[in-house]
Amino acid sequence: MKENASVRLNDYSDDELIKNLPGFENKYITTNGVKLHYVEGGSGKPLICLPGWPQTWYSLQPVAMQLSKRYHVIIVDIRGMGSSEKPKSGYDKKTMANDIFGIVKQLNLKNVSVMGHDIGGMVAMSLAFNHPEVVEKLIVLDGSHPSEGMMQMPLMPAAGTFNQKMDANMPYAWWMGFNQVKGLPEKLLEGRFKYLQDWLFNYVMIDDTKMTSLEREVYAAAYNETESIRASNAWYQTFNQDIEDTKTYQQLTMPVLGIGSYISYNYMNMGLPYVAKNVSVVGILDSGHYLFEEKPQEVLDAILPFLAS
């Protein structure tokens, strides 16, 4: 059984998965004291892509090939994700943004565009706040920097709103609290992460059949181990520090594009103008949270004109 399990895990390795992205390569870089994995392909102006929870670089697979026809695409497994290192600390978004800034400097990139989804969107925004001199354009999908508004999230769901699919008007994201707990999630989820993952995909996607069986296996394998669960939950456990950091940031001046699903569009449309002067928000309202999988063409239709303008 152990040999068969090992064979299955090898099927979901970066070396195997990169074969689905012709022209892309797996690479590693050590920056800001952490070793990060990234995949790189295409040519043109640099576009750094940052995935979210509970996924890896492979979440960009539905759009990466099209993007690489026009841009030098770099998809990073952020600190604690996938094949990147999982240190004991450094999961506040300012430190994680410095990880990405280190990549920009070491690769000698100039005027990068940065795109982030979910937690990756938080890191992308932090990079723009802390190092605006290197960010030409910023794209965030269903995820913006932690703010004090998080403190208003309910402990209990409003009556009648906690159903099979997430309610856009009264969203209940119980995992925001669960992921704050240290030690227990690892014990509950080690080797069983797919149960949480599959429930989540169904809850926050309109059509969760668009998340393929391969993708589900890839992400379950990436988050099944204790250290992966600990590290990814640390992204959530630093939100209080992230909120404090926002109090020192200046309003963003580079062009910012927000792309929101039916869940987050209204919140992004209200919130992003407070932190960015030059912002537009697009709603893909027939998609849930995992926009790359549900509506890849609509995402490209929003991204490509923005980057080219």
Give the chain's domains with CATH numbers: 2-308 (3.40.50.1820)
Confidence of residue 271 (pLDDT cuts 50, 70, 90): very high
CB 292 within 8 Å of CB 51:
no
- Whether the predicted model's global pTM rises above the 0.85 cut: yes
Which strand (E) or helix (H) includes residue 16? Answer: helix 14-17
**215-230 tens-digit pLDDT:** 999 999 999 999 999 9
Number of H helices, E strands in the chain: 14, 8
pLDDT of residue 4: 47
Q: What is the pairing mode between strands 112-117 and 135-141? A: parallel
Looking at residues 232-240, what average pLDDT do you find? 98
DSSP classification of residue 60: G
User: How many residues in the chain?
Assistant: 309
| Mean pLDDT over the full length of the chain | 96
pLDDT of residue 11: 84
pLDDT of residue 3: 43
pLDDT of residue 9: 54
**30-74 tens-digit pLDDT:** 999 999 999 999 999 999 999 999 999 999 999 999 999 999 999
C-alpha angle 27-30-34 in degrees, rounded to nearest 5: 120
Looking at residues 272-280, what average pLDDT do you find? 97
Which residue reads 């227990």 in tokens? 184
Report the distance separating Cα 194 and Cα 144, nearest Å. 26
pLDDT of residue 7: 41
Share of the chain above pLDDT 70, in %: 97
Neighbours of 150 (CB within 10 A): 13
CB 286 within 8 Å of CB 260:
no
Q: Tokens representing 152?
A: 């208003």
Which residue reads 């992004």 in tokens? 268
Q: Tokens representing 249?
A: 């940031």
Torsion of CA 77, 79, 82, 86, to 10 degrees: 160
Least confident segment among 8-22, 192-206, 245-259: 8-22
pLDDT of residue 8: 52
Question: Environment class of residue 109 by beta-carbon count within 10 Å: exposed (0-12), middle (13-18) or buried (19+)?
Answer: middle
Question: Environment class of residue 148 by beta-carbon count within 10 Å: exposed (0-12), middle (13-18) or buried (19+)?
Answer: exposed
User: Which candidate, 243, 51, 253, 274, places its Cα nearest to that of 143?
Assistant: 51
pLDDT at 81 over 90: yes
pLDDT of residue 1: 38
pLDDT at 13 over 50: yes
Report the distance separating Cα 27 and Cα 40, nearest Å. 7
Phi, psi of 26 (to 5 degrees): -80, 135
pLDDT of residue 195: 98
* 3-state DSSP percent of the chain in helix, strand and coil, to 5: 50, 20, 35
Task: Show the 3-state SS of 131-169.
Answer: CHHHEEEEEEECCCCCCHHHHHCCCCCCCCCCCCCCCCC
Residues 6+ apart with CB under 8 A from 56: 77, 81, 82, 83, 218, 219, 222
Q: Is the dihedral of CA 23, 25, 31, 34 positive or negative?
A: positive
Confidence of residue 104 (pLDDT cuts 50, 70, 90): very high
pLDDT of residue 102: 98
Share of the chain above pLDDT 90, in %: 96
Over the Cα atoms of the chain, what is R_g?
A: 18
